[in-house]
Amino acid sequence: MTRRRITAHVTSRIRIAALLTVAACVIAVSTTVPSAQSRAQTPSWMDPTLSPQERADLLLAEMTLDEKIAMVHGAPGVYTGNIPANTRLGIPSINMQDGPVGIARMPQVTALPAPIALAASWDTEMAQQYGTLIGEEAQSKGVNVLLGPMINIVRAPQAGRNFEGFGEDPYLSAAIAVAEIEALQGLGVIATPKHYVNNEQEHGRGQGSSQVDERTRHEIYLQPFRAAIEADAGAVMCAYNKIDDVYACENDHVLNEILKDELGFQGWVMSDWGATHSTVAAALGGLDMEMPGGEVTDGIFFGTQLKEAIESGAVPAERLDDMVRRVLIPMFQMGLFDNPMTGKHYSAARTDAHVQTAREIAAQGTVLLKNEDVLPLDPASLTSIVVIGTAAGKEPLSVGGGSAEVISAMVVPPLEGITERAGSGVPVDYAQGDDGASIDEAVQLAEQSDVAIVFVGVYSSEGWDRETLVLPEGQDELVRRIAAVNPRTVVVMNVPAQVLMPWTDEVPAILVAWYPGQENGNAIASVLFGDTNPAARLPVTFVNNTSELPTVDVNEPMGNPVHYDEGLLVGYRWYNANDVEPLFPFGHGLSYTTFDYAHLALTGPAEGQVQVALDVANTGSRAGAEVVQLYVDFPPGLGEPPGQLKGFQKLYLDVGETEVLTFTLTADELSYWDTSISGWTVPTGTFQIDVGASSRDIRLGGSFDVINPDLSAPLTAQPDTTDPDAAQPDAAPPTATYLLGLAGLLILVAVGMLIIRRKKGQSQDQGDSRTA
Ligand code: BGC
């Protein structure tokens, strides 16, 4: 799987780095033998042969109470968050900066496409590149803790921060987050997945309580956090909101019981900015660091007040040691002591290579929703183009707002990118289309042009949720008027997440480019003209109208407390369960080529796994990438939503090329949160699996029975008879995996018979000896 390949890359990079370090040490040792005096001066915790835990303990033993307190709250400084260096003990400063979209609010950085666009690439290698780019710019700026990624789930389409996250599905979010975190931390930048937990809207975020049942919390909202922790994220940011009426940053249940005990998180929990509400309750409830903090005497909760609480015994001294240890361990782990950052906040971080990467990710994240023979555009056969919309010209919608906003001084507006790519032979006209006269002008130009490209969109930011999913400022009407006069109208949407698209049937081509970052115009031109063959898929479902939504009507104020009444039926799960045909389903996206799926083969359960293999072929006339998606139906009667994403792979295929793909399902993918034991259970019964090009475009299916929850034998897997290739008498021969499966089955049966015969023999022997 792609994810494995990436892990292997990262691991091998770390290995190479480690080898180089060892080599460097050997050279250093052989040329400069330290004097007895300098050896004595090297503090014990600087011995790199010790484990991060041992080093943290050695250092902790030297720290005074005041020094410990200074490590658990922020102070003023040049970064978003600052823990000053301790020069007496040689502890480097902790420099924290937002965030999920790149280095926020600092000059000379790269404005990346929004994370929702990254998720739309369904490409963990893209996520690795995204993390690497942010990590490198963090290094240049001296940032050693990144306040991201943002891994809250898109539950309500109008929520203000949806663009910062990875969509409505926990499996996709987890995969993208892990790849990004591994890349970041591979460069020595500590990641801070946020906001823990159930911070899925802005409305009332400071006081609102998210009321979520435990099974839903585990199966949906905790999944990306669980994966991030398995990927060794060094810090986690707790959220502003309450959970079951207790603030997230002093919530013993979600911090101590779930995050630290159940999920085994070893790093530190920092509060969101101003999300600390107490001293003793927060310290005992699991918070390890108050941010942004302030001077120690400021009346902040983890300054003088925490010191007094330690002195009075209201907070045990061991708890403070635990907080500090949790900060120090990731610092040692990620090399903050051994390779301190040398970058400065004012240094330039953006490079040409970064800009290229930003363009590539933006293009790879652009979803082709609809295309009736209009795209790609061919300049050789075009005589004129008109580009319409403020987002195409003077007000490009390239980045979202709030703490994640990246200053994008070098934005390429769509008009510029398209004009340049169209070349001098194709005149490109432009109209803003934002008021009466300018709309008339746009319509007139559209009438005269070969192709009309209309940019529509909406701004979104932290701090507020959109009140409606309707595109603002009459943009729906603009699209309709253009489409009425030009049969080759292409709509490009710069949106943070879902919007309503009542004109879908009236236009032949639609693209979602999200917030594409500074390479906006170049990226969209590359997709429009076919330099990039679109290969993105929706990480969220687009509905026909708001009455289809699982969450509260967008015209109602979002509830407070927020009742997660839809439970497990978040996003596409809801539409599947309620038989609603959405406008564009989760996982949907077109290409300029076509793909064929065949020869599904299932093997297992055996040795804790089920293998799913199939052939995917590029049957069109262009090289391109397909995102093969695997959805699982649990045995009936458990209350599990139908068709849950449990695997995906992105596959680049040349024209005519076929590749065999294999998915592996383990207990991780096949268990549900069993409230009766407060744990994960693999249920027995029949699982159905569907493989397809979206959650609604299923090409092949099969089923298998789980008889033993440990996924051991017997083998029961069957492709569906609905698989045309499996059913056809003249179908191509089964794939090797299938044959292996059959061979496995025969061997198991033979071994089983042998065992039974031997056992019979033994019991006969025993019986014989007893009767003797
Ligand atoms: C946001 C966090 C951000 C912090 C620091 C808060 O308003 O919720 O995501 O990291 O500010 O800028």
pLDDT in tens, 496-551: 999 999 999 999 999 999 999 999 999 999 999 999 999 999 999 999 999 999 98
Task: Determine if the peptide bond prior to 683 is cis (ω within 30°).
Answer: no
List CB contacts of 544: < 8 A, sequence separation 6 or more. Answer: 500, 582, 583
**HSE (side-chain half, CA atoms, 13 Å) at 100:** 29
List CB contacts of 301: < 8 A, sequence separation 6 or more. Answer: 73, 276, 277, 278, 279, 282, 290
Q: What band does 749 get if pLDDT is binned at 50, 70 and 90?
A: very low
Predicted pLDDT of residue 587 = 98
Quote the ligand 1 centre to 133 CA distance (angstroms). 21
Quote the ligand 1 centre to 276 CA distance (angstroms). 13
Residue 240's SS3 state is coil
Quote the ligand 1 centre to 297 CA distance (angstroms). 23
Please state the atom number of ligand 1 nearest to the C-alpha of residue 150.
9
Which of 195, 462, 464, 465 best tests ligand 1's pocket when mutated (most atoms within 8 Å of CB)? 462
Overall average pLDDT of the 470-479 stretch: 97
Kind of pairing between the strands at 697-706 and 718-719: antiparallel
Residue 147 beta carbon below 6 angstroms from any ligand 1 atom? yes
| Rounded-to-integer distance, Cα 479 and Cα 468, Å | 18
Tokens of 252: 């013993």
Quote the ligand 1 centre to 273 CA distance (angstroms). 6
DSSP 8-state class, residue 715? P
Cα four-point dihedral sign 488, 494, 498, 499: negative
Predicted pLDDT of residue 717 = 72
Please state the atom number of ligand 1 nearest to the C-alpha of residue 194.
9
Quote the ligand 1 centre to 526 CA distance (angstroms). 34
Residue 272 beta carbon below 6 angstroms from any ligand 1 atom? yes
Quote the ligand 1 centre to 272 CA distance (angstroms). 6
Overall average pLDDT of the 426-442 stretch: 97
Quote the ligand 1 centre to 195 CA distance (angstroms). 9
* pLDDT over threshold 70, residue 349: yes
Which residues make beta-bridge pairs with 302?
none
Residue 196 beta carbon below 6 angstroms from any ligand 1 atom? no
Residue 98 beta carbon below 6 angstroms from any ligand 1 atom? yes
Please state the atom number of ligand 1 nearest to the C-alpha of residue 192.
10
| Rounded-to-integer distance, Cα 259 and Cα 188, Å | 23
pTM for the whole structure: 0.89
Q: What band does 40 get if pLDDT is binned at 50, 70 and 90?
A: low
DSSP 8-state class, residue 504? G
Predicted pLDDT of residue 711 = 81
Which of 46, 75, 117 is closest to 527 using CA atoms? 117
Overall average pLDDT of the 12-30 stretch: 35
Predicted pLDDT of residue 248 = 98
* pLDDT over threshold 70, residue 168: yes
Take atom 3 of ligand 1 and give the residue whose Cα is closest. Answer: 403
The least confident of 4-8, 330-334, 703-707 is 4-8
Q: What band does 721 get if pLDDT is binned at 50, 70 and 90?
A: low
Residue 271 beta carbon below 6 angstroms from any ligand 1 atom? no
Predicted pLDDT of residue 554 = 66
Task: Please answer whether residues 279 and 315 qualify as being in contact, where contact means their C-beta atoms are separated by less than 8 angstroms.
Answer: yes
The sheet carrying 489-494 orders its strands as 367-371, 509-512, 489-494, 451-457, 385-388, 428-431
Beta strand spans in 310-466 (E) = 367-371, 385-388, 428-431, 451-457
Residue 364 beta carbon below 6 angstroms from any ligand 1 atom? no
Which of 119, 82, 136, 118 is closest to 361 using CA atoms? 118
Q: Of the listed 98, 232, 272, 615, which one is catalytic?
A: 272
The DSSP result for 247-259, as a single string, is EGGG-HIIIIIII
Take atom 9 of ligand 1 and give the residue whose Cα is closest. Answer: 403
Please state the atom number of ligand 1 nearest to the C-alpha of residue 199.
8
More confident call, 743 vs 655? 655
Predicted pLDDT of residue 552 = 76
For 242-284, the pLDDT digits (tens) are 999 999 999 999 999 999 999 999 999 999 999 999 999 999 9
Which of 156, 154, 158, 182 is closest to 166 using CA atoms? 154
Which of 80, 97, 98, 197 best tests ligand 1's pocket when mutated (most atoms within 8 Å of CB)? 98
Predicted pLDDT of residue 504 = 98
Task: Please answer whether residues 344 and 97 qualify as being in contact, where contact means their C-beta atoms are separated by less than 8 angstroms.
Answer: no
* pLDDT over threshold 90, residue 421: yes
Task: Please answer whether residues 509 and 402 qualify as being in contact, where contact means their C-beta atoms are separated by less than 8 angstroms.
Answer: no
Please state the atom number of ligand 1 nearest to the C-alpha of residue 240.
8
Quote the ligand 1 centre to 404 CA distance (angstroms). 8
Cα four-point dihedral sign 749, 750, 755, 758: positive
Q: Is 272 a catalytic residue?
A: yes
| Rounded-to-integer distance, Cα 508 and Cα 506, Å | 7
Predicted pLDDT of residue 754 = 41
Task: Please answer whether residues 210 and 175 qualify as being in contact, where contact means their C-beta atoms are separated by less than 8 angstroms.
Answer: no
Task: Please answer whether residues 183 and 132 qualify as being in contact, where contact means their C-beta atoms are separated by less than 8 angstroms.
Answer: yes
* pLDDT over threshold 70, residue 758: no
Residue type, 231: A
Which of 237, 273, 291 best tests ligand 1's pocket when mutated (most atoms within 8 Å of CB)? 273
List CB contacts of 72: < 8 A, sequence separation 6 or more. Answer: 288, 289, 290, 302, 306, 320, 323, 324, 327
Which of 259, 235, 264 is closest to 248 using CA atoms? 259
Quote the ligand 1 centre to 82 CA distance (angstroms). 14
Question: What percent of the chain has pLDDT above 70?
Answer: 87
Please state the atom number of ligand 1 nearest to the C-alpha of residue 292.
5
Residue 194 beta carbon below 6 angstroms from any ligand 1 atom? yes
Quote the ligand 1 centre to 274 CA distance (angstroms). 9
| Rounded-to-integer distance, Cα 443 and Cα 431, Å | 9
Overall average pLDDT of the 443-463 stretch: 98
Q: Round the average pLDDT of the chain to a whole number and report it.
A: 89
Q: Which residues of 655-666 are buried (b: 16+ CB within 10 A; e: fewer)?
A: eeeeeebebbbb
Which residues make beta-bridge pairs with 97?
146
Q: What band does 296 get if pLDDT is binned at 50, 70 and 90?
A: confident
Please state the atom number of ligand 1 nearest to the C-alpha of residue 403.
12
Quote the ligand 1 centre to 161 CA distance (angstroms). 11
Take atom 4 of ligand 1 and give the residue whose Cα is closest. Answer: 273
* pLDDT over threshold 90, residue 89: yes
Predicted pLDDT of residue 6 = 30
Quote the ligand 1 centre to 163 CA distance (angstroms). 14
List CB contacts of 275: < 8 A, sequence separation 6 or more. Answer: 238, 239, 240, 247, 248, 249
Residue 273 beta carbon below 6 angstroms from any ligand 1 atom? yes
DSSP 8-state class, residue 73? B
The least confident of 99-103, 177-181, 430-434, 726-730 is 726-730
Please state the atom number of ligand 1 nearest to the C-alpha of residue 147.
10
Take atom 12 of ligand 1 and give the residue whose Cα is closest. Answer: 403
Residue 80 beta carbon below 6 angstroms from any ligand 1 atom? yes
Tokens of 524: 């969209």
Burial category of 330 from C-beta neighbours within 10 Å (exposed 0-12, middle 13-18, buried 19 and up): buried
The least confident of 230-239, 321-330, 592-601, 709-718 is 709-718
Residue 403 beta carbon below 6 angstroms from any ligand 1 atom? yes
* pLDDT over threshold 80, residue 363: yes
Residue 460 beta carbon below 6 angstroms from any ligand 1 atom? no
Take atom 8 of ligand 1 and give the residue whose Cα is closest. Answer: 272
Predicted pLDDT of residue 487 = 98
Quote the ligand 1 centre to 565 CA distance (angstroms). 27
Predicted pLDDT of residue 560 = 77
DSSP 8-state class, residue 401? B
| Rounded-to-integer distance, Cα 400 and Cα 162, Å | 10
Residue 429 beta carbon below 6 angstroms from any ligand 1 atom? no
Tokens of 525: 């031109």
| Rounded-to-integer distance, Cα 222 and Cα 241, Å | 15
| Rounded-to-integer distance, Cα 772 and Cα 759, Å | 19
Kind of pairing between the strands at 718-719 and 190-191: unpaired
Take atom 2 of ligand 1 and give the residue whose Cα is closest. Answer: 272
Kind of pairing between the strands at 367-371 and 679-681: unpaired
Predicted pLDDT of residue 393 = 96
Tokens of 583: 């406008």
Helix ranges, 494-643 (H): 520-528, 572-577
| Rounded-to-integer distance, Cα 677 and Cα 137, Å | 45
Residue type, 215: R
Residue 99 beta carbon below 6 angstroms from any ligand 1 atom? yes
Which residues make beta-bridge pairs with 147?
98
| Rama region for 236: left / alpha / beta (φ>0; ψ in -120 to 50; rest) | beta
Residue 241 beta carbon below 6 angstroms from any ligand 1 atom? no
Residue 647's SS3 state is strand
Which of 192, 403, 405 best tests ligand 1's pocket when mutated (most atoms within 8 Å of CB)? 403
For 580-612, the pLDDT digits (tens) are 999 999 999 999 999 999 999 999 888 889 999
Q: What band does 719 get if pLDDT is binned at 50, 70 and 90?
A: confident
Task: Determine if the peptide bond prior to 413 is cis (ω within 30°).
Answer: no
Q: Based on C-alpha coordinates, what's the Rg of the chain?
A: 28
Q: What band does 38 get if pLDDT is binned at 50, 70 and 90?
A: very low
Predicted pLDDT of residue 759 = 41
